Structure 1
Amino acid sequence: MIADKLSLANQVIEKLQEVEDPELLVDVVNLGLIYGVDITEAGRCTVTMTLTTMGCPLSDYLDQQIKAAVCQVPGITEAAVKLVWYPVWSPARLSASAKAALGISGQEQPAPAAVKKLDTRTPIKTLADRYPSFVDDMAAIGFDRIKQPGMLQTVGRVMNLRLGCQAMGFDLEEVKQLLQAKGYQVQD
């Protein structure tokens, strides 16, 4: 049964690669807009996705195109789109082919070995925007609320590492050591 769901999910992804953003002329998969595909036993498919910006004028259009494409897959009886805003979309989510199509050079991306510098007083949202792995790294340490939808866009704009440790009852020095082990250079 799991193999059947995986096969259906792969077929859905293939169909979604046919749905292009009419402004960018790149499909929604290679744009990095698709976050997940969930298929129930009854053949209901929910596509979890985001948009490049809130208030995107193409929201309704993409919703309709995605549902139509998904319903073309044999075995899918119904399609729904779940729009989410977390994780926040950024150009780092573009595939290599999307970057090439949009004329974005790979050199514009920071080098993977670059030092990730953190200041304990910098807002969490700023750090998450600067370092895409920061959210997962913080969740792994125990700051699991960071992954709640909307948390970065609200509390994350004012909460910093120092305040977060205080609110969660974590030892700041211990958290700093854990982050340093993950490749961050932490400063006060």
Structure 2
Amino acid sequence: MSVKRTINLQKSVHDLCTEFPELIEFMKDAGFPDIVKPGMLATAGRFMTLPKGARMKGIELEQLVEKLRALGFEVES
């Protein structure tokens, strides 16, 4: 039986990337290139959520959710 991997959209990007380190590369590829800059995850990532970040970058949240589901994540709001 596989482990359920759930992304809660209310959690900070920092918390999500701590729980699922593979999200850092996913986010970089999805339009958040600054996520890999030193210190960015530890500063802005502590208060930024995926919905807030998507809004700031002009990325459709539903596109991110679909990509996360394709990677095997369950997404809850």
Q: Same fold (TM over 0.5)?
A: yes
Structure richer in strand, relative to its length: 1
**Counterpart selection for 2:50 from 161, 165, 174:** 161
Higher relative contact order (CA 8 A, sep 6+): 2
Cα distance in 2, alignment partners of residues 148 and 168 from structure 1: 16
Q: Tell me the TM-score normalized by structure 1.
A: 0.39
Give 1 or 2 for the bigger CA radius of gyration: 1
Cα distance in 2, alignment partners of residues 168 and 115 from structure 1: 29
Query: Given that residues 137 and 182 in structure 1 are in contact (C-alpha distance below 8 angstroms), is that contact kept between their aligned partners in structure 2?
Result: no
Are 2:49 and 1:182 equivalent residues in the alignment? no
Are 2:18 and 1:129 equivalent residues in the alignment? yes
Query: Given that residues 120 and 162 in structure 1 are in contact (C-alpha distance below 8 angstroms), is that contact kept between their aligned partners in structure 2?
Result: yes
Letter aligned with residue 146 of structure 1: I
Q: Quote the offset at 1:168 in angstroms.
A: 0.5
Structure richer in helix, relative to its length: 2
Cα distance in 2, alignment partners of residues 116 and 143 from structure 1: 21
Q: Tell me the TM-score normalized by structure 2.
A: 0.90
Query: Given that residues 117 and 185 in structure 1 are in contact (C-alpha distance below 8 angstroms), is that contact kept between their aligned partners in structure 2?
Result: yes
**C-alpha RMSD of the superposition:** 1.1
Instruction: Give the number of aligned pairs.
Output: 76
Q: Which runs of 5+ in 2 are unaligned?
A: none
Aligned to 2:9: 120
Paired residue secondary structure (1:118): strand
Cα distance in 2, alignment partners of residues 184 and 115 from structure 1: 8
Cα distance in 1, alignment partners of residues 40 and 66 from structure 2: 24
